[in-house]
A and B are shown apart, each in its own frame.
Chain A
Amino acid sequence: MDFFIQLLVNGLSVGFLYGLSAMGFVMIFKSSSVLNFAHGELLALGAFVFLSLHSVVQLPIGWAFLATLTGCFVLGFLIERFFLRPLIGEPLIYVIMLTVGLAAMLRGLLLLIWGGNLRTLPDFLPAWMDIQSGWLRIPPVYMAAILVGVLFLVLFGLFFKYSAQGIFMRSVADNQRAALSLGVHVRRVFALSWGIAALVAGMSGIILGLMNGISVHDLSAVGLKVFPVVILGGLNSISGAVIGGLIIGVLEAFTGGYLSPSLRDVVPYIVLVVLLLVRPYGLFGLVEIERV
């Protein structure tokens, strides 16, 4: 039983991180319908920039953190401006392929600068996050993952539901032409969503790095795990992304704990295929309203 609970807790906190990564992904998809294959590289970039700012530039943790997030935001903005904007209106496959190419470029750069080895981030989380009650222990990293996950979930939920900018973003995702006719600044919406997505990615990259150490390959693999997560949750649902993340996280923990560690990494994809056959638009995705 203890083992079960511990696995559950581990799974949930990893799940929150998956959810957090997926949120950024959904953000981009929701506004510009772009499937971002470079998401894992954005995660890795956030983690490595943070590491360098802290250990090489010797910035205090707080500043390094802020600087990383700002940098990620700007990077997202630039990626949209220079790579994706020229492709507005092109067929899906070109956009997908562009992000795949982008992923290869970023991965090459990351490996070139920081190498392929596993690095560890300094542990800076406060002690109160370490929760210990009887046999159950939630390490601070897990606690941080849960807190940040919940925080961003609530923030994004409110943002999309009530803020004008959030509604504009949804309107662009829905019908670009109509949004344009009403004066919604479509290109700005795209750029903004990339910026925010990169920021969230950087954030989850840092926490993932705290949890398992950072290596380019591991983090870009997490970027691919975002796919089962978002499909499970539905490609355009922010809360779905988090729930999908939790499900995948717990599933992985249990498979790793009870069945076999090697099956762990493939289980999300098996679930994905089965789910797609049963519910093609994910658990919480929008059923396409098609009127002919």
Chain B
Amino acid sequence: MRKLRLHPCGNYKESYADELAIFSSDYGRLWSLAGIAALFCAVPFISPPYLLYVVNMIGIYAIAAIGLNILVGYTGMISLGHGAFFGVGAYAAAVMSATFNVPFLLSVPAAGLITAGVGMIFGIPSGRLKGLYLTIATLAGQFIIEYVLVHWEGVTRGTEGITVPAPTLFGISLRGDIRFFYVIFAVLALMIWMAVNLIRTRYGRAFIAIRDNDRAAEGMGIPIFSYKILSFGISSFYAGLAGALWAYYMVSVTSEPFNLSLSVEYIAMVIIGGLGSVAGSVYGAVFITVLNESLRWLTDLMMNFGFITQSGLNMAPLREFAFGLAIVLFILFEPRGLAELWRIIRSSFRLWPFSY
């Protein structure tokens, strides 16, 4: 067995392969494996049901957030329609399984593909638009999709919603938090693996080139329009997949959750986690979900204080306020996100006590 490599105290990369390596040391690899093992073996059994529900939601959001990060953080196109794409995925899976009895194993990836198609259609404006104009075009996409989800009653059953039948995988019923936990996190692990490797390929490099300077990228021979559309497609695929899992997990699908605030939450995850970092998307999903849940808990708690209830004050808006505040503070004080924060902490440990 070869010797385990420790973290070097500086940049000692000698080849392109070193540069591209996902783990710079074998300890990184070991720790990740240990983390995954702990996650899969311990978490579902030691956590109470509510916590497990939160963990599952984190997993679903993380998948979609990674997708958004590919679009925003790597390709540099800001999308405000990710929540709607998530919704398309949820509805696609719900319609397929409820109306056409498509099995779980087929409907989830199919939902991803359908969403990818929808995402590519709404990505077409990126051929001519840049920056703010593109952002607003995706905002329009958000509203249009929302409208279609509510009003295309023949398929989506309008405001009534769709109830998704219990999924089965290889004959095993997938009801219950623990069983679904494994499904969600297996998909998440696969998606992380795909994203990390995607960035290392020519496609990933082309995305980054487009982000940094799309005109220069075009000059270098990258067909930017097709790559931009591709980026929209991949990003929406992730969103659709996450949406499909969400639909199965939540059982009933209505159009309310897929509004602009959801899109904003996804952008917040990506920014707070760290733009252009796959790990960052996961951190962001953890942060936002935990923030949301703890704020909910806190406001519920405050509602039970006698004097607040008596004064008739509704504390629910406080959640929105705190959410906004968290975003604002993050952007003002650590705009590079949690991934950067983590990197700083790690490197200061590694270089300690000689930080120069």
Q: A and B: direct contact (Cβ < 8 Å)? A: yes
Is A108's CB under 8 angstroms from B318's CB? Answer: yes
Is there a chain A Cβ closer than 8 Å to B125's Cβ? yes
Chain A contact residues: helix, strand, loop or mixed: helix
Say yes or no for A289: interface residue by CB 8 A criterion. Answer: no
B109-153 vs A, Cβ < 8 Å mask (1 yes, 0 no): 000000000000000110011011101110111011011000100
Contact with A along B297-321 (1 / 0, CB 8 A): 0000000000000000111111111
Q: Does A93 contact B (CB under 8 A)?
A: yes
Check: B325 CB closer than 8 A to any chain A CB: yes
A101 at interface by CB-CB < 8 Å: yes
- Report how far A92 CA is from B139 CA in the complex, Å: 16
Residues 314-356 of B, flagged 1 when their CB comes within 8 A of A and 0 if not, give 1111111111111110011001000000000000000000000
Q: A96-B78, A104-B327, A269-B144 are in contact. Are A276 and B321 (CB under 8 A)?
A: no
Write out the residue numbers on chain A whose beta carbons fall within 8 Å of the beta carbon of B290.
none
> Contact: B314 with A273, CB < 8 Å?
no
Q: Does B72 contact A (CB under 8 A)?
A: yes
Q: Is A157 an interface residue (CB 8 A)?
A: no
From B137, which residue of chain A is reached at the shortest CB distance?
A276
Q: Give the interface segment out of B7-15, B180-188, B232-240, B263-271.
A: B263-271
Contact indicator A272/B332 (Cβ below 8 Å)? no
For the complex, give the distance between the alpha carbons of A103 and B320 in Å: 9
CB-nearest residue of chain B relative to A273?
A: B140
B interface footprint on A97-110 (CB within 8 Å = 1, 0 otherwise): 11011111111111
Query: In the complex, which of the residues B78, B131, B321 contacts A109, with contact meaning CB atoms closer than 8 Å?
Result: B321
Q: Which residue on B lies nearest to A227, using beta carbons?
A: B136
A173 to chain B, nearest CB (A): 13
Q: Chain B nearest CB: distance from A221 CB in Å? A: 10
**Bound-state Cα–Cα, A80 to B275, Å:** 24
- Chain B residues positioned under 8 Å from A273 (CB to CB): 125, 137, 140-141, 144
A162 beta carbon closer than 8 Å to chain B: no
The answer, yes or no, to whether A153 is at the interface (CB within 8 Å) is no
Q: Determine whether the beta carbon of A108 is less than 8 Å from that of B320.
A: yes
Bound-state Cα–Cα, A83 to B325, Å: 11
Complex Cα spacing A276 to B264, Å: 22
Q: Among the listed B146, B215, B267, B319, which residue makes an inter-chain contact with A108, where contact means beta carbons less than 8 Å apart?
A: B319
Asked if A2 lies at the interface with its beta carbon under 8 angstroms from chain B, I say no
If A92-B78, A101-B331, A108-B319 touch, whether A115 touches B314 (CB-CB below 8 Å) is: yes
A3 to chain B, nearest CB (A): 25
A87, A104, A105, A272: which contacts B136 (Cβ < 8 A)?
Answer: A272
Are B325 and A101 neighbours in the complex by a CB distance under 8 Å? yes
Instruction: Say yes or no: B147 contacts A98, CB within 8 Å.
Output: no
**Which residues of chain B are near A105, meaning CB under 8 Å?**
320-321, 324-325, 328
Query: When A94-B271, A266-B147, A273-B141 are in contact, do A35 and B132 touch as well, CB less than 8 Å?
Result: yes
* Residues of B close to A262: CB separation below 8 A: 147, 151
Q: Say yes or no: A112 contacts B332, CB within 8 Å.
A: no
- Using Cβ atoms and an 8 Å threshold, which residues of chain A touch B178? none
Shortest Cβ distance from A259 into chain B, in angstroms?
12
13 contacts across the A-B interface (CB closer than 8 A): A35-B135, A86-B332, A93-B271, A94-B271, A100-B324, A108-B318, A112-B315, A112-B318, A116-B314, A228-B140, A276-B125, A276-B140, A292-B215
Residues of B within 8 A of A (CB): 72, 78, 124-125, 128-129, 131-133, 135-137, 139-141, 143-144, 146-147, 151, 215, 260, 264, 267-268, 271, 275, 313-328, 331-332, 335
